[in-house]
């Protein structure tokens, strides 16, 4: 069985090559091919000897070369691209590339599926299958880097906000981010990384202990206990006031403002009172609110509020001096919300198995 080379720390690769009888400096050359040139085929690594390339081919696998792009969707405005990826074990994940005026960001998944079962999210429809590895998380960035390389562009921001709960795959997620941060890998600054959680407090506390200035985002979505538990069952284990307290400790420790994600659902959590309560909980906190007008899900009774209601909600927050923005919608026409594409693909596979 081949050893996965992608995501392998340099000292470990140097040791592995030495065991094959190869010179230590070859590891740096391979790093350059993989992470700077985005070349995932040993046969194309021209400054290595033919025998060495053959030996590498027989010994190692390179994950990005083994991931199959099942579907690729481009938004009409050309700013968003979503790809559905089939991993070597047959599981599927999705990842999204977004082109902003400041560069390119990638929204990566941390798990195959999700066990959080948020009522408005497609990621948890089939539950969590397994955690992703360090290589599988990093590869999501590099599959886009390989596409951008021809234009001399690179991904400059990473958001762990795709399918899965990052804090339930803590070690792999943060190892991947630290790997991507390395100058000889993707050289992405920690301040250009964001991890979003439904509110797994032990994970927030572990993140604080790492002492890395990575941005923290909290999926909040309601500040009435019964309603949040209905929308997000995780609230029963980690009540949102405790989550906000843990997030504020992180903000104080890291010096990074916490972003609270709040999906606006018409006639459910978008009232004046909801806005007043949200402002009350976040008053004097190092916090900003990112409001997300919901994608309609009529079968679940979820609808997008009218623009007048959204603007009213924002105005109440700002009146209380809470920094609030309405998320710029990207990729709405290609189902860029978490889990939508994978859920459709899983349904098609299941249908194909039955037929």
Annotated catalytic residue within 52, 94, 136, 261: 94
Q: What is the DSSP string of 215-262?
A: EEEEE---SSHHHHHHH-GGGGTS-HHHHHHHHHHHHHHH--PEEEEE
Q: Is residue 331 predicted with pLDDT exceeding 70?
A: no
Domain residue spans of the chain: 3-64, 67-354
Q: Worst-scoring range by mean pLDDT, 12-16, 75-79, 115-119? A: 75-79
Q: What's the pTM?
A: 0.92
Residue pLDDT, tens place only, 293-302 = 998 878 788 9
Q: What value does the mean pLDDT take over residues 281-306?
A: 92
Token pair belonging to 321: 């001096």
Known catalytic residue: 338? yes
Annotated catalytic residue within 38, 107, 198, 338: 338
Domain 67-354's class? alpha beta
For residue 136, give the nearest of 191, 185, 173, 188 by alpha carbon: 173
Whether 211 has a binding-site annotation, put simply, is no
Cβ atoms of 232 and 219 within 8 Å: the answer is: yes
Instruction: Output the pLDDT for position 343.
Output: 58
Q: What percent of the chain clears pLDDT 70, i.e. is strictly above it?
A: 92
Residue pLDDT, tens place only, 267-282 = 999 999 999 999 999 9
Whether 221 has a binding-site annotation, put simply, is yes
If pLDDT is split at 50, 70 and 90, which confidence band does 189 have?
very high
Average pLDDT, the chain: 92
If pLDDT is split at 50, 70 and 90, which confidence band does 335 have?
low
Q: Is residue 124 predicted with pLDDT exceeding 90?
A: no
Whether 329 has a binding-site annotation, put simply, is no
Whether 58 has a binding-site annotation, put simply, is no
Q: What value does the mean pLDDT take over residues 120-139?
A: 89
Domain 3-64 has CATH 3.40.50.450: no
Cβ atoms of 240 and 220 within 8 Å: the answer is: yes
Question: d(Cα 47, Cα 233) in Å, to the nearest integer?
Answer: 54
């Amino acid at each position: 069985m081949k050893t996965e080379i992608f995501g392998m720390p340099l000292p470990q690769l140097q040791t592995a090559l030495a065991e094959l009888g190869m010179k230590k400096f070859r590891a740096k050359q391979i790093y350059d091919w993989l992470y700077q040139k985005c070349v995932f085929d040993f046969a194309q690594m021209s400054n290595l000897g033919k025998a060495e390339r053959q030996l590498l081919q027989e010994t190692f696998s390179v994950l990005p070369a083994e991931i199959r792009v099942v579907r690729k969707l481009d938004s009409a405005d050309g700013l968003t691209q979503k790809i559905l990826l089939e991993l070597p074990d047959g599981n599927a994940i999705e990842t999204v590339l977004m082109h902003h005026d400041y560069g390119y960001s990638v929204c990566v998944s941390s798990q195959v599926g999700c066990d959080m079962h948020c009522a408005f999210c497609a990621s948890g429809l089939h539950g969590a299958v397994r955690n992703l590895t360090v290589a599988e998380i990093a590869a999501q960035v590099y599959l886009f880097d390989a596409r951008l390389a021809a234009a001399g562009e690179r991904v400059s921001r990473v958001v762990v906000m795709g399918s899965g709960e990052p804090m339930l795959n803590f070690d792999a997620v943060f190892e991947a981010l630290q790997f991507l941060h390395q100058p000889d890998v993707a050289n992405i600054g920690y301040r250009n990384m964001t991890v979003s959680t439904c509110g797994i407090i032990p994970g927030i506390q572990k993140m604080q202990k790492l002492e890395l200035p990575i941005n923290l985002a909290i999926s909040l979505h309601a500040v009435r206990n019964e309603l949040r538990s209905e929308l997000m069952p995780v609230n029963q284990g980690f009540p949102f006031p405790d989550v906000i307290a843990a997030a504020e400790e992180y903000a104080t420790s890291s010096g990074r403002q916490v972003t609270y994600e709040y999906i606006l659902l018409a006639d459910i959590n978008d009232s004046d009172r909801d806005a007043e309560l949200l402002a009350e909980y976040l008053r004097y906190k190092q916090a900003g609110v990112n409001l997300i007008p919901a994608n309609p899900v009529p079968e679940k009774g979820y609808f997008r509020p009218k623009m007048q209601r959204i603007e009213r909600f924002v105005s109440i927050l700002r009146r209380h001096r809470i920094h609030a923005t309405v998320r710029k919608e990207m990729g709405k026409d290609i189902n860029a919300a978490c889990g939508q594409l994978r859920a459709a693909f899983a349904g098609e596979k299941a249908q194909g198995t039955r037929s």
